[in-house]
Structure 1
Amino acid sequence: MPDHALPEAAPRADARTSFDAIVIGAGIAGMYQLYRLRQLGLSVRAFETGTDVGGTWYWNRYPGARFDSESYTYGYAFDEGLLKDWDWSEHFAAQPETLRYLNHVADRFDLRRDIQFESRVASAAWEEAGRRWQVTLADGRRYDCRFLVTALGPLSAQTLPRIPGLADFRGQSFHTHDWPREPVNLAGKRVAVIGTGATGVQVIQTIAPIVGQLTVFQRTPNWCTPLHNRPISAEEQARIKAGYPDMFALLRTTPGCYIHQADPRSTFEVSEAEREAFWEKLYSEPGFGIWMANFRDILTDPKANALFSEFVAKKIRQRVRDPQVAEMLIPKNHGFGTRRVPQETQYYEAYNLPHVRLVDINATPIERVTEQGIRTSAEDFAFDIVIYATGFDAVTGSFDRVEFRGVGGQTLKAKWEAGTRTYLGLMSQGFPNMLTIVGPHNASTRCNIPRCIEQNVEWITDLMRHVQAAGVTRFEATPEAEADWSKHVEELAGGLLYTLVDSWMTGINRNVEGREVRRILQYQGGAPQYREACEAVARDGYRGMRLD
């Protein structure tokens, strides 16, 4: 649960309305971009919807929220003193600790003085004559800037299910992203959780021992594997800090910037006994090694994937006592790793508790939310609390919530509805002087995200330094470069099994109208190849861009 002792920042209210750069968002990406642009001597203002910094870790205060990448690989790497001074208490830190860390960073570098809180950006329009962006907040206040940087987050546009009667329920109800700031009393309550993705898994396993009755409404089960979290001892803390240089060097070489590297062998190169022993080892180890450090063909060869999926299915059957419930928890429509893999702690064991019930809403669909609870095609349920763990309109959804108008008044939403097109995942032709951290076609959306955020921010900062020195007042990707990059992203995804599966990673969201067609939103060449592509563009004088 959240640490309610954290101070809230007061909203800024000064007369200045014109800046060199505006950053939208004050999460991990926005904070770091603000820090770097200030170092260039630019006047910068960051706008943040919330009352304080933190982004994902500010909003997602639900029980059980925590990292699934190792804490010490997740924190900022740009400042040696920050690395030495901060101690992570667990290998996979919980939300309150992460939020304290981000507050510590904001304090250490005095970031809040350039952040305007409780300021939701409603629109941003390019003005060609003045070569500036006109930014309007939801309350009508207006600002302008030369350069606009979005730090919106790939999983920040939460979505509620398209079920009739959401407003009818008389008890407490909320999306996990909007978990109340005040404590929620779950003890002894009749609770419903809708959704069994990564967030749903964390909530379910955490609240199951507390509540009086828990009913889980599942549409699509996911392949979940053990997190194996534990505290960090003093001796480990010392080793981690001494090993930071080597660890960050390693992270620059791995495809997802995790400490895990794919095994160079294929599934069928080894004997059955060797294969089983290797998989048992991965299943017993912490973190994403089971996904990122498995045999190299697990995510490309259907036969290899099916074999490993069955290995995990056996684990689920061993851990869930009721065979019928176990089968309900085993995915039938996708293989392991083709959707995001939730990391869990006693998640499957939660279904062994006598007061926990799993409902398959494919077999008995939810018809509506009622005043008392939820009605399916088979029965009526009464609840005190309904929790919607129904995910996000991923990657592009946060952009859709701001009306970005570029050259000639075209909107970014309309452009991307016709097919997502970017250059380097960092800009989109027709939207000059606008840069998109963790945008579509960017390596950051399939990455240990702070590591890829730092690469995005540092590339953008170098570009800003270049345009300052060269007297450039307008830059934009060329149509040809954008077309080539977008084609390259599509080609990289060819042969990967995940492209055949409906998930947020392929742009599918049944809770959002118009999100029924699969799209390639992620750069799949790996972070090192992506970094090299970006650096090559810069070395070539920002090839593929028109700088005026």
Structure 2
Amino acid sequence: MTTMTETRAAPAGAPGTTFDAIVIGAGMSGLYQLIRLRELGLRARVFEAGTGVGGTWYWNRYPGCRFDSESYSYGYSFDKDLLQEWSWSEHFAPQPETERYLNRVADKYDLRRDIQFNARVKAAEWDEASRSWTVTLEDGSRHRSRFLITAIGALSAPTMPNFPGISDFRGQSFHTGLWPKEPVDFAGKRVAVIGTGASGVQTIQEVAKMARELVVFQRTPNWCAPLGNGRIAPEEMEQIRARYDEIFRRCEETFSCFLHTPMDKNTFDASEEERNAILEKLYNERGFGIWVGNFKDMLTNREANRVISDFVANKIRQRVKDQKVAEKLIPTNHGFGTRRVPLETNYYEVYNQPNVTLVDTRETPIERITGTGIRTSERDYEFDIIVYATGFDALRGAFDRIDFRGKDGVTLKEMWKDGATSLVGMLQDGFPNMFMLLGPHAALGNIPRSIEFNVDWVTRLLRHMQANGLTRAEATPEAMAKWMDHVMEVAKGLLSMEVDSWMTGVNVNVKGRQVRRVARYTGSAPAYRGWADDIAARGYAGVALS
């Protein structure tokens, strides 16, 4: 049998280094995929735009950035020795600790020798004759590989707002997803934070402690719930180590791979007194339990959702002293949990501080950024620092920023112009030998759990190809259509599908993203894995192999 390396042929006019597999991105998925590719004996190269490993945990260094999955449910599960060696300091680890953890993985497996840093991928083009990809970096260099694996993340393409004058501002300005490595000094400064999503909430909590004046510009308030973070004592860490098998087994069983999963009870199965006790308990527990571990009809039954929404609204009113401000912080255009729920630590109490002001941009819109600050329809504000916590072009944004060209020169962006498609979030008809580790319609939730499954699934497919002398894999249109029908079916009845958010593919800062579509897999993680495993069990039925 010929090896994959021996079957390669170079496309005409495509200079550069040749590999068996190229991976784009050195975050959690790229690092793990590199480990697995080495086990297959493949010559692999990872191209990473940054100067270090970590992906999300490399780029997002903003104040307060941390997990909202429990640390011990987030790290890699495949390395039992690492699980016993590593100690998490908090139940929800801060960014610097997570970056150290991923560097520890890179050190342990000597991964950097196969990673090229400062290497942003500009384009990738399929050549049918040689059954290979040519990858072009922004520096103009070109590299060939049999297989192309995207490890570019679901939330990795930062978006700026469409305000005029952004480049006019003479102070410091930062997007939370492109934070500098050097510390930013907020002490005594006049600071603006634009945006109150998850990264905005985390940033606001910390900046409020340091800034002389903080003005928060909020377009859409979000339902936030307490994080419940705390230190992990050494003896507690030892108990966690003894329970790792149980912890990861629990993550495999739950709806979205968190330690929490919906109760087997509907909201109105309980009396009002019992409901309130359950909601109070969930509100005061750590993590996402109040979102993903609540009554099972909370996200499908409008009346049930109103119960939890009213409960959290009253919590906001209790925590914010100025009731006019409290009402501005309570969402009115969506129910609790129908958008991504930021977890917070004393976020609402921030608005009780004399140095913090909330500006509702629905009432007084931002008109432009000026040389000295921000102009709204009401007045001019002067700032030393502006923080753009304006989120990401989620799920497909990172794909759109690379010129992917498949069979017959068709671009991925063109193929997805009416909405992204996939086969189990990992393959796309027309793009042979390209595997997406967190592509559209992959299971998300507690993302590292999805990463490990998807990397292992791709690795098993590559091993199958090795064993059978196969050099080309592509999703069939029929299998994709069947999968997309399933994706649409499981989204029916979800209240979240009525709401504009990145989870429904809407982003007002990105042209063409104002049409609500199914942008992610909304079924359970076990159902997703079952579908993908069934494809593999039937000899990769739905994947054209040759």
For the superposition of Structure 1 and Structure 2, which TM-score range results when normalised by the shorter chain? Answer: over 0.9
Equivalent position of 2:186 in the other structure: 186
Cα distance, 1:525 vs structure 2: 1.6
1:42-53 correspondence runs (5 A): 42-53=42-53
Could you tell me whether the CA contact under 8 Å between 2:123 and 2:137 is conserved in 1? yes
Normalised to the residue count of structure 1, the TM-score between the two structures is 0.96
Equivalent position of 2:440 in the other structure: 440
Equivalent position of 2:234 in the other structure: 234
Cα distance, 1:418 vs structure 2: 2.2
Equivalent position of 1:142 in the other structure: 142
Q: Deviations over 1:333-363 (max 9, x none)?
A: 0000000000000000000001100000011
Whole-Å separation in 1 of the counterparts to 2:428 and 2:38: 24
Equivalent position of 2:285 in the other structure: 285
SS in structure 2 of the partner of residue 375 of structure 1 = strand
Equivalent position of 1:543 in the other structure: 541
Out of 458, 479, 492, which is 1:481 matched to?
479
Aligned AA (1:481)? A
Equivalent position of 1:209 in the other structure: 209
Aligned AA (1:226)? P
Equivalent position of 1:462 in the other structure: 460
Could you tell me whether the CA contact under 8 Å between 2:157 and 2:397 is conserved in 1? yes
Whole-Å separation in 1 of the counterparts to 2:47 and 2:452: 20
Whole-Å separation in 1 of the counterparts to 2:147 and 2:353: 55
Q: Count the aligned residue pairs.
A: 532
Aligned AA (1:418)? D
Aligned AA (1:55)? G
Whole-Å separation in 2 of the counterparts to 1:236 and 1:263: 27
1:254-269 correspondence runs (5 A): 254-269=254-269
Whole-Å separation in 1 of the counterparts to 2:530 and 2:286: 30
Whole-Å separation in 2 of the counterparts to 1:418 and 1:365: 31
Equivalent position of 2:77 in the other structure: 77
Q: Deviations over 1:166-191 (max 9, x none)?
A: 00000001111111111111001000
Cα distance, 1:84 vs structure 2: 0.3
Q: Deviations over 1:441-476 (max 9, x none)?
A: 1113xx100001000000000000000111111111
Equivalent position of 1:152 in the other structure: 152
Work out whether 1:385 is the aligned partner of 2:380.
no
Whole-Å separation in 2 of the counterparts to 1:261 and 1:338: 16
Larger CA deviation: 255-264 vs 460-469: 255-264
Whole-Å separation in 1 of the counterparts to 2:185 and 2:470: 56
Aligned AA (1:159)? T
SS in structure 2 of the partner of residue 443 of structure 1 = coil
SS in structure 2 of the partner of residue 92 of structure 1 = coil
Whole-Å separation in 2 of the counterparts to 1:206 and 1:126: 46
Aligned AA (1:513)? K
Equivalent position of 1:8 in the other structure: none
Cα distance, 1:192 vs structure 2: 0.2
Aligned AA (1:494)? K
Give RMSD over aligned pairs: 0.8
Equivalent position of 1:373 in the other structure: 373
1:336-351 correspondence runs (5 A): 336-351=336-351
Aligned AA (1:314)? N
SS in structure 2 of the partner of residue 105 of structure 1 = helix
Whole-Å separation in 2 of the counterparts to 1:381 and 1:509: 26
Q: Deviations over 1:406-453 (max 9, x none)?
A: 001000011111232111110110000000011101113xx1000010
Larger CA deviation: 174-183 vs 64-73: 174-183
Equivalent position of 1:503 in the other structure: 501
Cα distance, 1:269 vs structure 2: 0.5
Equivalent position of 1:61 in the other structure: 61
SS in structure 1 of the partner of residue 210 of structure 2 = coil
Cα distance, 1:487 vs structure 2: 1.3
Equivalent position of 1:132 in the other structure: 132
SS in structure 2 of the partner of residue 208 of structure 1 = helix
Equivalent position of 1:96 in the other structure: 96
Could you tell me whether the CA contact under 8 Å between 2:16 and 2:141 is conserved in 1? no
Equivalent position of 2:450 in the other structure: 452
SS in structure 2 of the partner of residue 88 of structure 1 = coil
Q: Deviations over 1:352-380 (max 9, x none)?
A: 00110000001110000000100000000
Whole-Å separation in 1 of the counterparts to 2:188 and 2:217: 19
Equivalent position of 2:6 in the other structure: none
Aligned AA (1:469)? A
Could you tell me whether the CA contact under 8 Å between 2:16 and 2:142 is conserved in 1? no
Could you tell me whether the CA contact under 8 Å between 2:123 and 2:404 is conserved in 1? yes
Cα distance, 1:22 vs structure 2: 0.3
Whole-Å separation in 2 of the counterparts to 1:419 and 1:59: 27
Aligned AA (1:521)? A
Equivalent position of 1:528 in the other structure: 526
Equivalent position of 1:302 in the other structure: 302
Whole-Å separation in 2 of the counterparts to 1:474 and 1:234: 50
Whole-Å separation in 2 of the counterparts to 1:327 and 1:524: 31
Cα distance, 1:483 vs structure 2: 1.0
Whole-Å separation in 2 of the counterparts to 1:545 and 1:100: 38
Q: Deviations over 1:118-147 (max 9, x none)?
A: 000000000000000010000100000000
Larger CA deviation: 179-188 vs 39-48: 179-188
Whole-Å separation in 2 of the counterparts to 1:235 and 1:429: 51
Q: Deviations over 1:230-284 (max 9, x none)?
A: 0001221111000001111111100111111211110001110000000000011
Aligned AA (2:459)? T
Whole-Å separation in 1 of the counterparts to 2:488 and 2:154: 19
Whole-Å separation in 1 of the counterparts to 2:391 and 2:534: 36
- Once the two structures are aligned, what percentage of the paired residues are identical? 61
Whole-Å separation in 1 of the counterparts to 2:38 and 2:517: 36
Aligned AA (2:439)? G
Cα distance, 1:292 vs structure 2: 1.0
Equivalent position of 1:10 in the other structure: none
Whole-Å separation in 2 of the counterparts to 1:472 and 1:419: 31
Equivalent position of 1:175 in the other structure: 175
Cα distance, 1:16 vs structure 2: 6.8
SS in structure 1 of the partner of residue 229 of structure 2 = coil
Could you tell me whether the CA contact under 8 Å between 2:364 and 2:376 is conserved in 1? yes
Moved over 4 A (4+): none
Aligned AA (1:404)? F
Aligned AA (1:85)? E
Whole-Å separation in 2 of the counterparts to 1:476 and 1:401: 22
Equivalent position of 2:515 in the other structure: 517
Work out whether 1:197 is the aligned partner of 2:166.
no
Larger CA deviation: 331-340 vs 414-423: 414-423
Could you tell me whether the CA contact under 8 Å between 2:16 and 2:144 is conserved in 1? no
- Unaligned 5+ segments in structure 1 are 1-14
Equivalent position of 1:11 in the other structure: none
Whole-Å separation in 1 of the counterparts to 2:263 and 2:103: 38
Cα distance, 1:522 vs structure 2: 1.3
Cα distance, 1:110 vs structure 2: 0.6
Could you tell me whether the CA contact under 8 Å between 2:263 and 2:296 is conserved in 1? yes
Equivalent position of 1:319 in the other structure: 319
Cα distance, 1:81 vs structure 2: 0.3
Equivalent position of 1:7 in the other structure: none
